[in-house]
Structure 1
Amino acid sequence: MGFPGTWMTESESMVYRVVPKCACSTIGQIMYYSDHGVFYDGDIHDAQQGLHKWARDDSQPIIKANVKTRSSYAFTCVRNPYTRVLSSFFDKICGIQRNGKRYRGNLVPLLIQKYGIEVGGDDGKDEFDQIRSFRRFLLFVRDTIRWRRPMEPDIHWSAISGHVSTFIVNGGRYNKIFWTEQFNDGMQDVLDHIQTPHAVDLSSIPRFNESEGHGPKRLHPVEDYFDDLSMHLIYEIYKRDFELFKYDFDNPANKMPIGEIDLDEVHAKLGD
C-alpha cells in the first residue's frame, strides 16, 4: 500500500499527508518555499520536482524510509465536513476546472441525468437552485461511499479519516493534526518544531486556493444547505470525522472545532 497522498520536503524537514480540500495547495507551497526560498510557479499539485511526492516513483523509497523510521515531523490538516463537502460541490461539480473542462469528464452529465442536479449551465454561470442541487449531490456522495456506485468515491468528498488513516495503518505516526479553520496557529506550530533551509514567515504567505473561482459563488449561509435529511446523510458519511477531529455535527453554522484533537485517539481508532 505504501503512503499515498504523502508529500515530503527534499530536505526531509517535514512530511505531510495531503487531505483534499483542506488547504493542501497552501501547505504544499509552504513546504516548497521552505526548501527553495521561492514558491512553485503554478499549481503545486503539478510539481514534478522540488518536492517529494508518493505519486513520483523516484520519491517512494525516500518517503518510505523516512516515515517507517519516523525521522521527520509528520502532520496533516483537516476541515469541517459540512464546509468541505459544500466546497467540493461548488468547485468540482459546478465549476470548470483549470484545464477548461468539467471535472472527470462524464461525471457531471451523469449527475444531471441520474440525480437531476443542475450546475448553472455549460459554463456554470447560469442561475440555478443551489440548495436543491447540493442536496441531490449529497445523495450521490452517499451512494458512492456506501455502495461504491455509480462510481468509486472521489478523493475530494471521501471522508477525511480515510485519507488520514492510510498513513497510520502503514506505519506512520502524526506529530500534529491541525484545523484548516485555525490554519495559521496550526501551521506555525509545525514550523516551530522543525528546522528549514529557508525561514517561513506565515503572515506574509499568500493563500493558494487553486479551486477558487472555478465555480459559482455560494449564495446562502452554510446551514441553509442542510435540512434534517441532509444532516442525516452527512452523519452517515462523516460520523468519524466529526468525532475524531472535534467538529460540531449539531450546528452546521458553526465551522469551528469544539474540542481538542487527541492524537492518541486518532492513532488508536484509525490504526486498525
Structure 2
Amino acid sequence: MGFPGTWMTTSESMVYRVVPKCACSTIGQIMYFSDHGSYFDGDIHDAKEGLHKWALEGSQEPITRNVQQHKSYAFTCVRNPYTRILSSFFDKICGIQRNGKRYRGNLVPLLTQKYGINVGGEDGQGEFDQIAAFRRFLLFARDTIKFRKPMDPDIHWSAMSGHVSTFIVNGGIYDKIVWTESFDDGMQDVLAAIDTPHAIQLKDVPRFNESEGHGPKRAHPVEDYFDDLSMHLVYEIYKRDFQLFKYDFANPGNKMPVDEIDLDEVHAKLGD
C-alpha cells in the first residue's frame, strides 16, 4: 500500500501526511518555500516537481526509505470534524470548481435525484436553504462512509483517522499532529524541530486556501447546521476523530480541542 497522501521536502527536512480540508495547501507551500525560498506559482496540489509526493512515481522510493527509517520529522494536521464536514459541503458540493464545473461532474445531480439536495441551481448562484441542504448531504456522507453507497466515500469527507492511520500501518511514526485551529503554534513546533535550507517566518505566510471562493458564504453559525440527528450522524462517522484528536463532540459551536493529543494513543489505536 505504501504511503498514499504523503509529501516530503526534496531536502528531506520533513515529511507530511496530507489530510484533505486541513490546511494542506498552506502546509505544502511552507514545505516548498523551506526548500526553494519561494512559493509554488499556483495550487501546490498541481506541483509535479520541487516537492516529493507519493503520487509521483519517482518520489515513492525516497519517501518509503525515509519514512520506514524515520529519518525526518514527520507530522500531519487535523481539524474539528464539524467545521471540516461543513467546509467540504460548501467547497465541493455548493461550489463551482477551478475548472468551471461542479465537483466530480455528476455528483450534485446524483445528490439532487437521490437525496433531494438543492444547492443553488446549475451555476451555484441561486438562493437555497443551506441548513436543509447540508443536513441531507450529511446523510449522503454517512451512507458513503458506512455503506459505500451510492458511491465510495470521497477523501474530503472520509474520516481523518483513516487518512492518518495509513502512515502508521505501513511503518511511519508521527512526531507531531497539528491542529488547524491553532495552526501557527503547531507549525512553529514543526519548524523549530528541523533545519531547512531557507528560513520561513509563519507570520509572513499567506493563507493558501485554494477552495476559498468556490462556494457560497456560510450564512449561519456552525452550531445552527447541527440538530440532534445531525450530531448523531456526525458521531457515527467521526467518533474516532473526536476521541483521538480531542475535539468537543457535545458542542458544535466549540471548534477548539479540549485536551492534548496523545501520540502514543494515536499510534496504538490507528496502527492495528
Same fold (TM over 0.5): yes
- Answer yes or no: is 1:255 the counterpart of 2:249: no
- Matching residue of 1:149: 149
CA distance in 1, matches of 2:140, 2:88: 13
Q: How does 1:207-222 map to 2 (within 5 A)?
A: 207-222=207-222
CA distance in 2, matches of 1:49, 1:100: 26
Q: Which runs of 5+ in 2 are unaligned?
A: none
CA distance in 1, matches of 2:183, 2:121: 34
- The secondary structure found in structure 1 opposite 2:103 is coil
- Matching residue of 1:229: 229
Task: Name the aligned partner's letter for residue 184 of structure 2.
Answer: N
- Matching residue of 2:77: 77
Q: How does 1:42-191 map to 2 (within 5 A)?
A: 42-191=42-191
CA distance in 2, matches of 1:98, 1:50: 23
Task: Name the aligned partner's letter for residue 27 of structure 2.
Answer: I
- Matching residue of 1:242: 242
Paired residue total: 272
- The secondary structure found in structure 1 opposite 2:74 is strand
Q: Deviations over 1:7-49 (max 9, x none)?
A: 0000000000000000000000000000000000000000000
- The secondary structure found in structure 2 opposite 1:182 is helix
- Matching residue of 1:39: 39
Q: Deviations over 1:30-85 (max 9, x none)?
A: 00000000000000000000000000000000100000000000000000000000
Alignment root-mean-square deviation, CA: 0.4
CA distance in 1, matches of 2:89, 2:246: 23
CA distance in 2, matches of 1:178, 1:209: 17
- Matching residue of 1:196: 196
Offset of 1:143 from its aligned partner? Answer: 0.3
- Matching residue of 2:21: 21
Relative to the length of structure 2, the TM-score reads: 1.00
Task: Name the aligned partner's letter for residue 78 of structure 2.
Answer: V
- The secondary structure found in structure 2 opposite 1:59 is helix
Q: Deviations over 1:90-136 (max 9, x none)?
A: 00000001111110011110001100001111221211000000000
CA distance in 2, matches of 1:15, 1:72: 6
Relative to the length of structure 1, the TM-score reads: 1.00
Offset of 1:86 from its aligned partner? Answer: 0.2
- The secondary structure found in structure 2 opposite 1:2 is coil
CA distance in 2, matches of 1:14, 1:122: 42
Moved runs in structure 1, 4+ residues, more than 3 A? none
- The secondary structure found in structure 2 opposite 1:75 is strand
Task: Name the aligned partner's letter for residue 219 of structure 1.
Answer: A
Task: Name the aligned partner's letter for residue 11 of structure 1.
Answer: S
Task: Name the aligned partner's letter for residue 105 of structure 1.
Answer: G
CA distance in 2, matches of 1:54, 1:22: 18
- The secondary structure found in structure 2 opposite 1:242 is helix
CA distance in 1, matches of 2:108, 2:177: 33
CA distance in 2, matches of 1:173, 1:124: 42
Q: Deviations over 1:220-248 (max 9, x none)?
A: 00000000000000000000000000000
